[in-house]
Amino acid sequence: VTGSETSPLVWDADGAPRSRRFDDIYFSKQDGLAESRAVFLHGCGLPQAWGGRRRFTVGELGFGTGLNIAALLDLWRREGAAGARLSIFSIEAYPMTADEARRALAGWPEIAEASHALISAWPGRAPGFHRVDLPAWNATLDVAVMEAEDALAQWRGRADAWFLDGFSPSANPQMWRQEVLALVAARSAPGARAATFTVAGAVRRGLEAEGFSVAKRPGHGRKRERLEAVLPGEGADPGQSPRVAIVGAGIAGAALARAFTSLGVRPVVIEATAPGAGASGNPAALVSPRFDAGGGPVAQLYAQAFARAVRLYRSEAAGAVIATGALQLDSGDRDGRRFDVVASSDLYETGAIERLPPQQASGRLGESSAVGGLWIADALTIEPAAAIRPWLAGADRLQAAAASLARMGTGWSLRDSTGGQIGEFDVVVFAAGAANARLTGLPLRPVRGQVSIAATRERPAPAAWGGYVLPTRDGLLFGATHDRDDADDTVRDADAARNRTLLAKARPALAAALAATALDGRAAVRAAGPNHLPLAGALGEAGLFVLGGLGGRGFTLAPLLGEHVAALALGVASPLPATLARIVDPAAFRERATGAGSGG
C-alpha cells in the first residue's frame, strides 16, 4: 500500500485506489467501468431518460476519481442528442489531484478520451465550487469541494438524475444522512431518478421518506443487488430561448456575452460608443484577488472569481495574456499580518499564494524593496481589448445608447434618449459600468481613475501596493488615482504627477528612469457599491438583471459573475454557491443601502 501523507487515497497492491479515511475502494479494479455503467448510467435510465431533451442535469454525491463522470461523458457523446447540453454537478469533500485521477483511470482505455478531457481540465481542490468547461462535449461540470450536505444547500440547480456514490453506508454514514437525502430530493427536477450500489435498508427507507419510489434491481459483478429510485412527475426543458439584450460592451458585457453564448443563447450587445470605451479600455489590466483576511464570504467570492477568471482567460482568451504572476507588496501596517493569514488559508490552491520576505520580494520586483509581500503565481496581466473581442464574437452587436425601458407584452422594449426603440427583449442585463447608476437606479458611486502609460523598452514585473505597475504590449502602465464621486473622464496633468509619486513609493528606481519619459494618460470611471461589493443578479422585475459595481477588480469579477447572471436569467444552475450569490444580490444591496446608510 503506497500513497503520500496528504493524499485522500492509497494504492492497493493490485493498483486500485482506496480511501485512506474510509478504508473503502473507489471502484472495483476488475470491472469498475462496467459497474459504473450498470449501477449509475443504466440505473438512472440513461440514455433513454435524456431522449428528446435539450438540457439535462446530472448530480453526483462523491466525485472521487471521476470514473462515473467520464463514463457519463462517453455515453453523452455517443447517445446524446445533437446540440443538447449536459450540466453536471458533483460533490467531493476530499479531492484528489489530477495525477492521482490519471493513474486511477488508466485502467479504462475504452473511455480514454473522456478521461483525458476530465483530467486535463481537472477541478481545483480549494474549498468551494469549481467549474470545468467541456465545450467539445457540450457539457459543463461544477465540482463542489465541501461536505455533501453543505454543497447541496449551496447549489440551486435541479438534477434530472443522481448518482449516489458515497462509500458504503457503514463506512461513510455522513454521506447517507437523512438530511443529505432530503436535500437530494429538494434539488431534484420532477421525475428525477437516483441510482446507487447500496441496498441498505436505511438508504431505501430514507429515499422513500423523501418521496422517491425505490426498487431493488439485480446488481453487477460481486454486488447482488442495486437500487433505482424515481420521483413522481416528468422532467421538461425550459421553453424557447429568450431574446437577450446586454447593455454595455466593457468586460462585464463581454463576460455576459460569453456566458450566454456558452449556454446556447445568442445575445444582442448594445454599446453606446465602442467596446472598451469605458473603464475596461486600458492597455493592460491586472487579474488578481482582493485579499480580505479570514475566510468569510467576501474573501471566498474573490478567491472563486479569481480562479475562474484565470482559467477562462487562459483557455478562451489566451492571446490576451501579457504576463503571469504578480507581486502584492505590503503597503499598510496591517498588511503583513493580513497577508500571513491569506497565505496560510485554504481559500486558494496549495502553492498559489506565497508569502515573501523583503529580499525575495525585491527579486521579484526588479529593484530593492524594504517590504515583503505576497507572490500570486496565477495572477495575470491581460490586454483587455484582446479578451473582450473574442467574448463578443458570439453575440449580435448594435450601436445605440439605451436610455429607458417599457413593458411590451411579456418582455421589454429598450429605447434610446429620443424614445426610439432599440429592440424588444425578454431579458435585459445592464452592464453599462458607471452608467448603471442612472439606468437601474441603484446607488452606485463613481470613482474616477487615471493611469499613466509609457511606450518604452522597459517591461516591469506586475506589482501592486495601493498603486500598481504593469507591462503593456509596447511598454508599461502605472497608477492609478482613485477619486470618489468624481465622474469626469478627461486626462489631468496633476493626476499624471500623482501617479509618478505613487510609482516612486514602491519602484523609485523605475520612477527615476521614467522621469524624462513622456507619459500618455487615460482616465475612466469605476462604479463602486457600498462595502465595495459587486452587484450581480435580478433587479426585481421579471427579465431585468444587472452586472455592475465591479470597482477596481472588474477583470477578476466579471467572468464568474457573468456566468452567474446568465444562469439566473436562463433558469439553469449557477456556478456561484448560494451564500456568495446572496452577497452580490442587488436586492440585498438595496436593503443594505436603505438600511444602514451607504457604508464603505
Ligand X SMILES: Cc1cc2nc3c(=O)[nH]c(=O)nc-3n(C[C@H](O)[C@H](O)[C@H](O)COP(=O)(O)OP(=O)(O)OC[C@H]3O[C@@H](n4cnc5c(N)ncnc54)[C@H](O)[C@@H]3O)c2cc1C
Ligand Y SMILES: C[S@@+](CC[C@H](N)C(=O)[O-])C[C@H]1O[C@@H](n2cnc3c(N)ncnc32)[C@H](O)[C@@H]1O
- Does 166 sit near ligand Y (CB under 6 A)? yes
Q: Which of residues 501-530 bind ligand Y (CB under 6 A)?
A: none
Query: Which residues, including other chains, have CB under 8 Å from residue 99's CB and lie 6 or more apart?
Result: none
Cis peptide before 182 (omega within 30 of 0): no
- Does 28 sit near ligand Y (CB under 6 A)? no
DSSP H helix total and E strand total for the chain: 18, 29
Minimum distance, C-beta of residue 207 to ligand Y, in the bound complex (Å): 17
Which partner from the list ligand X, ligand Y, none does 480 bind, CB cut-off 5 to 8 Å by kind? ligand X
- Does 128 sit near ligand Y (CB under 6 A)? no
> 144 and 124 in contact (C-beta within 8 Å)?
no
One-letter identity of residue 97: T
CA 191, distance to chain mean position in Å, is 29
- Does 555 sit near ligand X (CB under 6 A)? yes
- Does 301 sit near ligand X (CB under 6 A)? no
Buried-state track 237-273, b at ≥16 Cβ within 10 A, e below 16: eeeeebbbbbbbbbbbbbbbbbbbbbbebebbbbbbe
Q: Which of residues 237-276 bind ligand X (CB under 6 A)?
A: 247-253, 270-273
Query: Which helix (H) or strand (E) element contains residue 262?
Result: helix 251-262
**The one among 65, 138, 288, 328 contacting ligand Y by CB under 6 A:** 65
- Does 550 sit near ligand X (CB under 6 A)? yes
Q: Pick between residue 184 and residue 247 the one whose CB is nearest to ligand X.
A: 247
Q: Cell 444591496 sits at which residue? A: 589
- Residue positions counted in the chain: 600
Q: Pick between residue 150 and residue 424 the one whose CB is nearest to ligand Y.
A: 150
Q: SS3 for 149-210, per residue?
A: HHHHHHCCCCEEEEEECCCCCCCCHHHHCHHHHHHHHHCEEEEEEEEECCCCHHHHHHHHHC
- Does 309 sit near ligand X (CB under 6 A)? no
Q: Pick between residue 102 and residue 526 the one whose CB is nearest to ligand X.
A: 526
Which partner from the list ligand Y, ligand X, none does 556 bind, CB cut-off 5 to 8 Å by kind? ligand X
**What is the C-alpha separation between 272 and 566, in angstroms, rounded?**
22
Minimum distance, C-beta of residue 309 to ligand X, in the bound complex (Å): 9
- Count residues binding ligand Y (CB under 6 A): 21
Minimum distance, C-beta of residue 453 to ligand X, in the bound complex (Å): 10
- Count residues binding ligand X (CB under 6 A): 40
- Does 155 sit near ligand Y (CB under 6 A)? no
- Does 91 sit near ligand Y (CB under 6 A)? yes
**The one among 257, 402, 528, 544 contacting ligand X by CB under 6 A:** 402
Q: Pick between residue 181 and residue 286 the one whose CB is nearest to ligand X.
A: 286
Q: Which of residues 168-197 bind ligand Y (CB under 6 A)?
A: 172, 174-175
**The one among 57, 68, 115, 140 contacting ligand Y by CB under 6 A:** 68
Of 142, 131, 159, 178, the residue nearest 58 (C-alpha) = 159
Minimum distance, C-beta of residue 155 to ligand Y, in the bound complex (Å): 13
Rg, Å, the chain Cα set: 26
- Does 108 sit near ligand Y (CB under 6 A)? no
- Does 435 sit near ligand X (CB under 6 A)? yes
Which partner from the list ligand Y, ligand X, none does 172 bind, CB cut-off 5 to 8 Å by kind? ligand Y
- Does 398 sit near ligand X (CB under 6 A)? no
Minimum distance, C-beta of residue 463 to ligand X, in the bound complex (Å): 12
Which partner from the list ligand X, ligand Y, none does 273 bind, CB cut-off 5 to 8 Å by kind? ligand X
- Does 165 sit near ligand Y (CB under 6 A)? yes
Which partner from the list ligand Y, ligand X, none does 127 bind, CB cut-off 5 to 8 Å by kind? none
Minimum distance, C-beta of residue 103 to ligand Y, in the bound complex (Å): 12
Of all residues in the shown chain, the one whose CB is closest to ligand Y is: 64
Query: Which residues, including other chains, have CB under 8 Å from residue 596's CB and lie 6 or more apart?
Result: none
- Does 462 sit near ligand X (CB under 6 A)? no
Of 47, 39, 58, the residue nearest 189 (C-alpha) = 58
Which partner from the list ligand Y, ligand X, none does 147 bind, CB cut-off 5 to 8 Å by kind? ligand Y
Q: Pick between residue 114 and residue 523 the one whose CB is nearest to ligand X.
A: 523
Q: Which of residues 477-536 bind ligand X (CB under 6 A)?
A: 479-480, 524, 526
Query: Which helix (H) or strand (E) element contains residue 322?
Result: strand 321-329
DSSP state of 434: G
- Does 92 sit near ligand Y (CB under 6 A)? yes
**The one among 167, 176, 291, 465 contacting ligand Y by CB under 6 A:** 167
Which partner from the list ligand X, ligand Y, none does 93 bind, CB cut-off 5 to 8 Å by kind? ligand Y
Of 136, 560, 526, 551, the residue nearest 313 (C-alpha) = 560
- Does 577 sit near ligand X (CB under 6 A)? no
> 56 and 189 in contact (C-beta within 8 Å)?
no
Q: Pick between residue 87 and residue 499 the one whose CB is nearest to ligand X.
A: 499
- Does 122 sit near ligand Y (CB under 6 A)? no
Of 440, 446, 303, 316, the residue nearest 378 (C-alpha) = 303
Minimum distance, C-beta of residue 341 to ligand X, in the bound complex (Å): 23
Please give the biggest Cα pair distance in the chain: 82
- From the number of C-beta atoms within 10 Å of its C-beta (0-12, 13-18, 19+), residue 558 rates as buried
- Does 93 sit near ligand Y (CB under 6 A)? yes
> 226 and 197 in contact (C-beta within 8 Å)?
yes
Handedness of CA 307, 312, 318, 320 (dihedral sign): negative
- Does 67 sit near ligand Y (CB under 6 A)? yes
| φ, ψ at 262 (rounded to 5°) | -70, -15
Q: Which of residues 4-63 bind ligand X (CB under 6 A)?
A: none
Q: Cell 432599440 sits at which residue? A: 422
- From the number of C-beta atoms within 10 Å of its C-beta (0-12, 13-18, 19+), residue 504 rates as middle
Q: Which residues contribute to the site for ligand Y (CB under 6 A)?
A: 8, 26-27, 62, 64-68, 91-94, 147-148, 165-167, 172, 174-175
Q: Which residues contribute to the site for ligand X (CB under 6 A)?
A: 247-253, 270-273, 277-280, 282, 285-286, 401-402, 431-435, 449-451, 479-480, 524, 526, 548, 550-556
